[in-house]
Amino acid sequence: MSKKICIVYTHHKLGDLIWQLPYIKAISDHHHEKIDLIVRKKTQAQNIFADIKHINKIFYNDFRKGINYWIDVFKLMGIYFRNKYDYVYILDKVNKPAIAAKFIGVKNIIGPGIGNQKKWLTSKNFLTDEDWKKTYSEQSQKFLKINSIQINNPYPEIEIKTSRFNDENSDLLIKGKKIAFGIDSFEDYKMWYEEDFVELANLFYEKKLFDYVYLICGPEKSYLADKIINLSKKNFFINCSKKDLTGVILALKNSEFFVGNNSGPLNLAAALNINSFGLIANDPIGELKFSKIKILRPANLPDNYRLRDRIGMKKLKPKDVFEMIVKNL
């Protein structure tokens, strides 16, 4: 008899959701069933995960606080009730999905059990507070291990059929060799400087490594793309800042390689099996050991180094970045 499985993940960042993909697939494989997924709308999972064979339906929930807390609990209860789930897995420590599942009477409610969440769970296999200090990937690996779920591949991999994006993004499908630069990040301190991207592009161009460069950033930081284009005064840049996620995915899939800041597009490019280089001078890199990202980092920098000041990104010199990338192409 088939079982109905739901997985809930409440983080809002695209990159964080991508990190969870191996564990979503592992739960699906464990039960030999496709799963339903509940995430925030901001992740745009319905576009990104539409072609993943492990996933049946994707629902959005806001996971808000304050006066809207119980509104979102009732929304979750509605999703659970309509779909009659046998199992609800929660991949983080938020109480709300567990409370909703308990009220509806879901028989198997499984989560990490950090803090008050444990009193709403049916499973008593809990992570410790020490476990919760580890990276997101290590937390999820331990969570699945204590629940006897095997992980076959800890590296995020996404299958996306980009042909469905072609019509609305035909301007990106120009002839020639393309590469992609990911020029923004959710946190400004993770962003390499615009003039450094320009210098790197010039070094690549001298070696004839591309005909065009996709500049990938969100619309709220389109000024970064404008500045790069103005500083360069070259006509090989393609500004993707006004593109939605379908355009970004199409640009990535048509790129020879990707160079960018620690951000959602970097994680997405690596999960799409694009040769991906991460510019990381201000952030710990422990999470990235379960990724195909090639890390570009100043020499002798500790793995757990963090500096919440963008000036630290100046430690990565364009010529050094160029040489590290060329060695790995």
Domain annotation for the chain: domains and CATH numbers: 5-146 (3.40.50.2000), 163-327 (3.40.50.2000)
pLDDT at residue 1 tops 80: no
pLDDT at 282: 93
What are the tens digits of pLDDT across the range 210-258?
Answer: 999 999 999 999 999 999 999 998 899 999 999 999 999 999 999 999 9
Average confidence (pLDDT) over 302-316: 93
Backbone phi and psi for residue 27, each to the nearest 5 degrees, phi listed first: -65, -40
pLDDT at residue 146 tops 90: yes
Q: How far apart are CA 153 and CA 237, in angstroms?
A: 36
Average confidence (pLDDT) over 152-178: 93
Task: Answer yes or no: are the C-beta atoms of 33 and 1 closer than 8 Å.
Answer: no
Average confidence (pLDDT) over 304-320: 94
Which band of pLDDT confidence, cut at 50, 70 and 90, is reported for residue 285?
very high
The whole-model pTM stands at: 0.93
pLDDT at residue 310 tops 80: yes
pLDDT at 150: 97
DSSP 15: H
Mean pLDDT of the chain: 95
pLDDT at 35: 98
% the chain with pLDDT above 70 = 100
Amino acid at 85: Y
Task: Answer yes or no: are the C-beta atoms of 111 and 98 closer than 8 Å.
Answer: yes
